[in-house]
């Protein structure tokens, strides 16, 4: 479904790639159009922390040269992409939204970046995020928040709010996010875009700066389900440099997106992720989407996942525990910030002064929470119990998937909230991820796609689809079918309704 | 009931190598208490008979052939370090002056 109009920034990645392959547009023209768009709107959106126009034009030029030389181009060759600033890219600043890594230029590429380069995708720059991916709004970025293109006074979600905002502001047709507890899906939901958290181990974590290693997963973001599938197939697959990378064929997500068929599928509504606590317009669009899926030939049933009620608690013990350990590497010795190295302070004092100055409030909060949960005397009650809840959540999923093919829920309980509304109320902020967290704890795959605007505030609503591990293709079967039905109903994609900025 | 005291938060900050200010200590003591009381609910269903899960995939040790591969470029790595000297990271003194 091509986005109509001749503006290159309003096309899908699939359409742009085809135009570049046929010579209808050059990769340089496509890249320049997006750089111009960034120049004209990013002072208001603040999706990007760093834009490397010169490098982007250079890589676009090499795509055009390959085409002229008669080389066969890949499915997304020459298409611009916005990269979340938590993935390393050799020689390009990688801050993770933190003062701790301000000006750090990594000496290596992450697996994801290697694969993007190999696919001739043009990386425009690095996108804003909550510091070290801790947050649901980008307000915890040390470099200031990103703004939601639907309403600039509102948050674009987090932690990958920069990537989602770049898509919704038509600054890039593709983006990479990372999802530890919902950081791809919740930003997608509140910006009217599509985001997928692949099965844990589906996309290698090499070069992904670790937040919580047993939960972190990089994934594709775009404005359509098919674009998301095309990007998914490029970044997914085994890499021996990540010990948790799955050595098995990547599910055929592109074929699934093309098939877009739910006939005969059993779709389960998670009883615990529905009803109370969900904004009226979110619940309404969710119900309407179920009716569409039923009309398309799916059978809708309700399933219970009783342990999900405890997922948020388990997550906010497991994540801080792993984070407190992972972030110990930021000690001011080998890279990043160093404070107080004046000859009088000892190495330990320099570490403490550096971490005090380099980390923001949310990062400190979670490091201390994790240090506490792991300390002797509390370990069994907190971290140990959380790990048991994780077992129960996996059992809930396993038993649900015995009777249904996918599970569904609203992605987030509300539409985008106002910047500043929850920034110093950690528990209120944590609740944004109530529906996305269970998937991370179990390692499943999940997608969020836009299903309309909430009538009460005119802001996008996200629909979450959850599949068993390594059944990522089912997300695309269901997502593409729903997207296509909604497109027929509206005559355009939801994102076309976003304000012009 | 209080889950965590201000003195405990100060101790945690020391363990975590965070040189927190007095204001931060007050603020975090209150916030961590609220968070801990909320997340402590996990113990309601975490009974003795349930095994713990540390990881979504079953992990096993992975061996590879012992083949030399190129490592990171030393100059590039040191260029990103806060301080370096003689091709090494330079760090502050590691012993106390009194010792």
CB A129, CB A30: distance < 8 Å: no
Question: Confidence band (pLDDT; 50, 70, 90) for B60?
Answer: confident
b/e per residue A233-248 (b: at least 16 CB within 10 A): bbbbbebeebebbbee
Is the pLDDT reported for residue A225 higher than 80?
A: yes
Q: Which residue has the tokens 């407190």?
A: A324
pLDDT tens per residue, range A419-469:
999 988 888 889 999 999 999 999 999 999 999 999 999 999 999 999 999
CB contact under 8 A, B18 and A355: yes
Residues B74-83: what's their mean pLDDT?
94
Q: Which residue in A183, A324, A448, A484 is the catalytic one?
A: A183
A270 is written with which tokens?
A: 């998670």
Residues A280-306: what's their mean pLDDT?
98
pLDDT tens per residue, range A51-100:
999 999 999 999 999 999 999 999 999 999 999 999 999 999 999 999 99
CB contact under 8 A, A317 and B56: no
- CB-CB neighbors (< 8 A) of B81 in chain A: 333-335
State residue A275's pLDDT score: 77
Residues A133-142: what's their mean pLDDT?
97
CB contact under 8 A, B82 and A333: yes
Provide the residue ranges of all domains of chain B, joining segments of one domain with +. Answer: 6-44
Q: Write down the architecture of domain A8-308+390-495 according to CATH.
A: Alpha-Beta Complex (3.90)
pLDDT tens per residue, range A296-324:
999 999 999 999 999 999 999 999 999 99
Torsion of CA A389, A394, A399, A400, to 10 degrees: 100
Is the pLDDT reported for residue A3 higher than 50?
A: no
Is the pLDDT reported for residue A205 higher than 60?
A: yes
Percentage, residues of chain A above pLDDT 90: 95
Is the pLDDT reported for residue B62 higher than 80?
A: no
Residues A340-362: what's their mean pLDDT?
96
CB A84, CB A176: distance < 8 Å: yes
Helices A225-235 and A472-490: crossing angle in degrees, nearest 10, is 160
Spatial CA neighbour of A494 closest among A460, A446, A468, A444: A460
State residue A276's pLDDT score: 83
State residue A196's pLDDT score: 98
Q: What CA–CA distance (Å, rounded) separates A395 from A441?
A: 11
Instruction: Identify whether A6 is a catalytic site residue.
Output: no
Spatial CA neighbour of A101 closest among A43, A143, A54: A143
State residue B97's pLDDT score: 61
- For A42, A114, A163, the CA distances from A127, given in Å and listed in that order, are 11, 18, 6
Residue B16 touches partner A, C-beta closer than 8 Å: yes
**Minimum-distance CB partner of A317 among B42, B62, B76:** B42
- CB-CB neighbors (< 8 A) of A470 in chain B: none
b/e per residue B13-31 (b: at least 16 CB within 10 A): beebbbbbeeebbebbbeb
Q: Which residue has the tokens 């240090």?
A: A371
CB contact under 8 A, A200 and B56: yes
Does domain B6-44 fall under CATH 1.10.20? My reply is yes
- For A133, A283, A345, the CA distances from A356, given in Å and listed in that order, are 18, 42, 15
ipTM: 0.94
Residue B67 touches partner A, C-beta closer than 8 Å: no
Return phi, psi of residue A483, to 5°.
Answer: -60, -45
Residue by residue, DSSP assigns A484-497 as HHHHHHHSS-GGGG
pLDDT tens per residue, range A138-149:
999 999 999 999
Instruction: Identify whether A59 is a catalytic site residue.
Output: no
- CB-CB neighbors (< 8 A) of B16 in chain A: 324, 355, 367-368, 371
pLDDT tens per residue, range A93-132:
999 999 999 999 999 999 999 999 999 999 999 999 999 9
Is the pLDDT reported for residue B99 higher than 70?
A: no
CB contact under 8 A, A443 and B59: no
CB A349, CB A401: distance < 8 Å: no
**Minimum-distance CB partner of B57 among A316, A367, A443:** A443
- Return the bridge partners of A407, or none: A268, A466
> Cis ω on the peptide bond leading into residue A159 (within 30° of 0)?
yes
State residue A51's pLDDT score: 98
Provide the mean pLDDT of chain A: 96
Is residue A50 helix, strand or coil? strand
Spatial CA neighbour of A227 closest among A190, A274, A188: A188
Provide the mean pLDDT of chain B: 91
pLDDT tens per residue, range A161-187:
999 999 999 999 999 999 999 999 999
State residue A437's pLDDT score: 98
- CB-CB neighbors (< 8 A) of B47 in chain A: 388
- CB-CB neighbors (< 8 A) of A374 in chain B: none
Instruction: Identify whether A39 is a catalytic site residue.
Output: no
Q: What CA–CA distance (Å, rounded) separates B23 from A436?
A: 34
Question: Which residue of A lies nearest to B14 if distances are taken between CA atoms?
Answer: A352
State residue A4's pLDDT score: 43
CB contact under 8 A, A359 and B52: no
- For A303, A498, B38, the CA distances from A206, given in Å and listed in that order, are 36, 35, 34
């Amino acid at each position: 479904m091509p986005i109509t109009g001749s503006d290159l920034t309003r096309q899908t990645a699939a359409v742009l790639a085809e135009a570049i392959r046929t010579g209808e547009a050059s990769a340089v023209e496509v890249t320049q159009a997006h750089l111009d768009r960034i120049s004209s709107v990013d002072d208001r959106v603040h999706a990007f922390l760093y834009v490397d126009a010169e490098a982007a034009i250079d890589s676009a030029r090499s795509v055009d040269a390959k085409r002229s030389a008669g080389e066969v181009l890949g499915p997304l060759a020459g298409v611009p992409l916005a990269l979340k600033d938590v993935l390393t890219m050799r020689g390009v600043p990688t801050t993770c939204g933190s003062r701790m890594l301000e000006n750090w230029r990594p000496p290596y590429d992450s697996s994801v970046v290697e694969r993007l380069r190999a696919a001739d995708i043009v990386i425009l720059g690095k996108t804003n995020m909550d510091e070290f991916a801790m947050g649901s709004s980008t307000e915890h970025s040390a470099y200031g928040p990103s703004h939601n293109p639907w309403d600039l006074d509102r948050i674009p979600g987090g932690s990958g709010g920069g990537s989602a905002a770049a898509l919704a502001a038509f600054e890039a047709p593709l983006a990479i996010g990372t999802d530890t507890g919902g950081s791809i899906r919740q930003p997608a939901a509140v910006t009217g875009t599509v985001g997928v958290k692949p099965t844990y181990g589906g996309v290698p974590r090499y070069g992904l700066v670790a937040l919580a290693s047993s939960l972190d997963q990089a994934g594709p973001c775009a404005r359509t389900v098919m674009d998301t599938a095309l990007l998914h197939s490029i970044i997914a697959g085994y890499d021996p440099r990540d010990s948790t990378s799955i050595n098995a064929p990547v599910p055929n997500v592109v074929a699934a997106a093309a098939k877009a068929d739910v006939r005969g599928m059993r779709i389960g509504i998670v009883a615990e992720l529905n009803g109370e606590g969900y904004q009226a317009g979110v619940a309404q669009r969710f119900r309407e989407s179920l009716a569409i899926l039923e009309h398309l030939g799916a059978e809708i049933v309700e399933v219970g996942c009783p342990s999900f009620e405890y997922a948020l608690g388990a997550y906010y013990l497991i994540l801080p525990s792993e984070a407190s350990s992972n972030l110990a590497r930021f000690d001011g010795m080998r890279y990043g910030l160093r404070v107080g190295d004046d000859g009088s302070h000892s190495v330990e004092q320099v570490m403490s002064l550096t971490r005090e100055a380099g980390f923001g409030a949310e990062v400190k909060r979670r490091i201390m929470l994790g240090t506490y949960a792991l300390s002797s005397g509390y370990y069994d009650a907190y971290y140990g119990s959380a790990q048991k809840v994780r077992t129960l959540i996996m059992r809930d999923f396993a038993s649900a998937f015995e009777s249904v093919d996918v599970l569904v829920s609203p992605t987030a309980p509300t539409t985008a909230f106002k910047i500043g509304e929850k920034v110093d109320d950690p528990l209120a902020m944590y609740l944004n991820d109530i529906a996305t967290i269970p998937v991370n704890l179990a390692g499943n795959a999940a997608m969020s796609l836009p299903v309309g605007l909430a009538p009460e505030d005119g802001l996008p609503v996200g629909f979450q689809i959850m599949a068993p591990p390594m059944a990522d293709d089912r997300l695309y079967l269901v997502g593409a079918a729903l997207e296509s039905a909604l497109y027929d109903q509206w005559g355009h994609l939801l994102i076309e309704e976003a304000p012009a900025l | 009931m209080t889950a965590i005291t201000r003195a405990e938060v100060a101790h945690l900050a020391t363990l975590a190598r965070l040189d927190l200010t007095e204001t931060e200590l007050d603020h975090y003591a209150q916030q961590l208490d609220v968070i801990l009381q909320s997340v402590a609910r996990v113990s309601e269903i975490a009974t003795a008979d349930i095994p713990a899960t540390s990881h979504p995939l079953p992990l096993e040790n992975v061996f590879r052939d012992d083949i030399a591969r190129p490592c990171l470029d030393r100059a590039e790595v040191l260029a990103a370090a806060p301080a370096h000297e003689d091709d090494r990271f330079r760090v502050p003194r590691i012993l106390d002056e009194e010792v």
